[in-house]
Amino acid sequence: MPKQRLPTGKLLTLAFHKPYDVLPCFTDPEGRPTLADFIHVPGVYAAGRLDKDSEGLMLLTADGGLAHRITDPTEKLPKVYLAQVERIPDEAALESLRRGVWLGDKRTRPAQVRLLPQAPSLPERPVPIRYRKNVPTSWLELTLREGMNRQVRRMTAAAGYPTLRLIRVAIGPITLDGLQAGQWRMLSPEEVAAIRQPATSPA
């Protein structure tokens, strides 16, 4: 990505489109791809995680208060995911995901979940998912307001529909729009202010 002139004296916040197979951190003793391969901005840190085998939006910031707003589940900031799953969930399965499913000894919060009528327009993943000839796939859009470890994958698996590909497309008001995999952009003061706005409850 072309070098950008960075503002000085400000707490910077970036939106980054994390590619598949990239760790959500800046260092790795095993030498695997990390954020440092794409982002050369001093002082910013990932506000939240996105698993190595997942793709999509991450926010990085030098503002500790903003990072808390993004990551603390009590803030209820919505995060939107697209999940390609094995088979086609019926309405009962979708409703169970909406109500919340048990993951170990904890039940997930109510979520917004819908079955997409067709596959979203997305670039191919560098490592294609493993297709099984006799097993169809479908796409779900899920909006969560918490951040349990590998939550979307665990939720769909618990409902009987394992996730094959997972992309986070929005965090609060910030979306992936205009960012290709591996690209980042600086958030404007207005966008940062919008993240700080209190979250509204899901319908």
Dihedral sign of CA atoms 138, 179, 46, 18 in order: positive
pLDDT at residue 5, as a whole number: 52
pLDDT at 199: 63
The per-residue pLDDT for 6 is 57
75 CB neighbour count, 10 Å cutoff: 16
User: What b-and-e string marks burial along 105-130, b requiring 16 or more CB atoms within 10 Å of the CB?
Assistant: eeebeebebeeeeeeeebeebeeeee
- Catalytic residue check, 63: no
Q: What is the mean pLDDT of the chain?
A: 92
Q: Which one-letter amino acid corresponds to residue 8?
A: T
What is the pLDDT at residue 134?
85
Q: Which tokens hold the place of 38?
A: 């794409």
Confidence (pLDDT) at 65? 95
Q: Quick one: pLDDT at residue 2? A: 46
Average pLDDT over residues 44-58: 96
- Does residue 74 have a pLDDT over 70? yes
Fold assignment, 78-169 = Alpha-Beta Plaits (3.30.70)
Q: Is 10 left (phi over 0), alpha (psi -120 to 50) or beta?
A: beta
pLDDT exceeds cutoff 80 at 37: yes
pLDDT above 50 (res 75): yes
Whole-number CA gyration radius for the chain: 17
Burial per residue of 15-46, b for 16 or more beta-carbon CB atoms within 10 angstroms, e otherwise: bbbbbbebbbeeeeeeeebbbeebbeeeebeb
Decide if pLDDT at 202 tops 60.
Answer: no
What pLDDT shows up at residue 203?
41
Q: Active site residue: 37, 51, 63, 72, which one? A: 51
Q: What is the CATH number of domain 13-73+172-196?
A: 3.30.70.580
- Residues of the chain within CATH 3.30.70.580 domain(s) are 13-73+172-196
Q: pLDDT tens digit string along 99-130? A: 999 998 899 999 999 999 999 999 889 888 88
Name the residue among 37, 46, 40 with its Cα closest to residue 15.
46
Q: In the prediction, which pLDDT does 130 show?
A: 82
Q: Is the pLDDT of residue 64 over 50?
A: yes
